[in-house]
Amino acid sequence: MNDMNEKYRDLRQRYPEFEYQAYHHQWTEKGLCVWFDFRMGEVEFHPESLIDDRSFLNHEVSSEILDRMVFDIGMVELVSYWKCACPPNVKVLCGTLTEEDKQFWLKLYWNGLGEFYYTNGILESTEAFMHIEGKEDMKKPLPTLQLPLSAHYLVPIGGGKDSVVTLELLRRAGKAIRPLIMNPRGATVECTRVAGFPLDEVLVIRRKIDHTLLDLNAKGYLNGHTPFSAMLAFYTRLASVLTGIPNVALSNESSANESTVLGTSVNHQYSKSLEFEDDFRAYCPGFNYFSFLRPLSELQIAMLFSQFVDYHDVFRSCNVGSKQDIWCGHCAKCLFAYIILSPFIAPARLNRIFGKSMLDDLSLQHEFDQLTGQAETKPFECVGTVNEVLAALSMAKRRWYKEGCPALLKKHDADSSPVKLNALLPIGNLSEEECNIIKQCLEKFS
């Protein structure tokens, strides 16, 4: 048994139970506050979030509806705290869960923690990792929700190229849009500003992690990736009710369905996959939660983004440099963004955006090998498929590097078959009108 397995077993023995004790919501002068009470032995967690007050929010949503919305947010929040010791039993002391509900949460937790278990080298089975206890009841349907603005869209903005493409395609099609930002930072605020939305017209969610968790992490408790996008999904469901907008247009592309560790089900992007999206829609009927970019490849998204030049100096996709609002220039996410845009933006311009020629940086050889399928795993980042990376390198080589290649490209055979940039992949759950918006844009720019 390796050290992490031993630590995992020891912590589960020391903390056999995790309790979801209570959830709370209250309107204040700042907006709608929600917070939760979790307990694990002698340890307590009290995370909280605030939805900034805006003139377009409905303050009259019933307590019954808010109760269910906030309870479910607590169910997805708890896994971030549970994972520090992975107690085998989770006791839900507030709210009720049907057997189907429990299966939904167990599937989400297990698949959403696939990277956590893999990177920590922890061996566990689906059957043993968690048991959920709680008051069982028939799931009562929520009161009829009045969401009449069927042509309106909530668009979560992450600050990268994908959400910009969703925002621009819907905006240019004349759709009414309400941007949504969780924990504003430079790139997210700047992208909405470029699109013409000042911050007081954006729905803003401010989520705080309880520092007790950070203290435990510093002491050597377990840590790792949790399904952030699933958490965002349940917050957008609440946002949908508060704004009266039924359509939540995500920006998850087709590559989110591909596993990160080839030949396994371990997927860094599980909660961005079509499988999770369909499960979520079944768990939360009446909400049109979907990814607008699902029919597109990363190459098509990059091609479209290359046309939106006003965003080129403000977008950021780097997780390492997110707090400083920079491209760090040393991670797989930066390298992937550079590569996928390389067929469509001239090298000199691309170098100015990223601060250097990333394909000339030999210190990124390992990340390059991961992205091009030469390593055992893809990077544990939201990046495209190996085939998309190879196609982008092939296209860039033919367009820009006929007389000499950058250092990383010299050692790699980037030849690939031609790519059709005007074809749609399986469309997921988009409407015919939404598909037509995408088709028209592809025909215009490809």
Q: How much of the chain, in percent, has pLDDT values that exceed 70?
A: 94
pLDDT in tens, 244-294: 998 999 998 876 677 777 667 777 788 888 899 999 999 998 888 999 999
**What's the domain range around 331?**
316-415
Question: Is residue 279 domain-shared with residue 323, that is, in the same domain?
Answer: no
pLDDT in tens, 36-84: 999 999 999 999 999 999 999 999 999 999 999 999 999 999 999 999 9
Residue 173 lies in a domain: no
Question: Is residue 377 domain-shared with residue 270, that is, in the same domain?
Answer: no
Structure confidence at residue 144 as a pLDDT band (50, 70, 90): low
> CA nearest 303: which of 384, 238, 222?
384
Question: Is residue 278 domain-shared with residue 338, that is, in the same domain?
Answer: no
Residue 103 lies in a domain: yes
Where does residue 96 rank: exposed (0-12), middle (13-18), buried (19+ CB within 10 A)?
middle
Question: Is residue 248 domain-shared with residue 324, that is, in the same domain?
Answer: no
Residue 311 lies in a domain: no
Question: Is residue 118 domain-shared with residue 264, that is, in the same domain?
Answer: yes
What DSSP element (H or E) covers 315?
Answer: none
pLDDT given for residue 383 in this prediction: 84
Whether pLDDT at 441 is above 70:
yes
Whether pLDDT at 138 is above 80:
no
Question: Is residue 266 domain-shared with residue 320, that is, in the same domain?
Answer: no
Question: Is residue 22 domain-shared with residue 136, that is, in the same domain?
Answer: yes
Question: Is residue 231 domain-shared with residue 374, that is, in the same domain?
Answer: no
* C-alpha–C-alpha distance, residues 318 and 208, integer Å: 21
Question: Is residue 279 domain-shared with residue 141, that is, in the same domain?
Answer: yes
Average pLDDT, the chain: 91
List, as one string, the DSSP characters of 335-394: HHHHHHHTTTS-HHHHHHHHSS-GGG-GGGHHHHHHHTT-SSB--SSS---HHHHHHHHH
pLDDT given for residue 313 in this prediction: 95
153-157, 209-213, 261-265: which range is least confident on average? 261-265
Question: Is residue 255 domain-shared with residue 345, that is, in the same domain?
Answer: no
Whether pLDDT at 319 is above 90:
no
Structure confidence at residue 172 as a pLDDT band (50, 70, 90): very high
* C-alpha–C-alpha distance, residues 344 and 309, integer Å: 12
Question: Is residue 354 domain-shared with residue 257, that is, in the same domain?
Answer: no
Question: Is residue 321 domain-shared with residue 280, that is, in the same domain?
Answer: no
Structure confidence at residue 145 as a pLDDT band (50, 70, 90): low
> CA nearest 39: which of 3, 85, 98, 108?
85
